[in-house]
Amino acid sequence: MESMRTPEVEQLLDVFCKMRDKDDVYALLIDLFTVREIKETSKRLVVAKMLYDGKPYSFIEENTGVSAATIARVSKCLNYGEGGYHAALRILREE
């Protein structure tokens, strides 16, 4: 995914890394994405946690309303991705 690391993406990453206030991050998310995109992205993190905890697809589908295709995509990223979900799950475990 190195082709994704454009100067514009780097700038966005810098902004997210430097924001320390949760309300500022929230405001930026609202400005950048639709409400639906934010909700769907948030659910993917929930799906990642459930997969990591060993929950079956049927349980995840029932409890989140996420499609089997999305669950499979998250699973693929958990197993073969760049490690972003694992980094996020470590943060969640620390809270």
DSSP reduced 3-state for 89: helix
Res 1 pLDDT > 70: no
Please count the structural domains in the chain: 2
Interatomic CA distance for residues 22 and 77, integer angstroms: 26
Q: Which pLDDT band, with edges at 50, 70 and 90, does 95 fall under?
A: confident
Domain with 10 in it: 1-32
We report the CATH number of the domain holding residue 77 as 1.10.1270.10
Give the chain's radius of gyration (CA, Å).
15
Same domain, 90 and 44: yes
Tens of pLDDT along 10-21? 999 999 999 999
Same domain, 81 and 38: yes
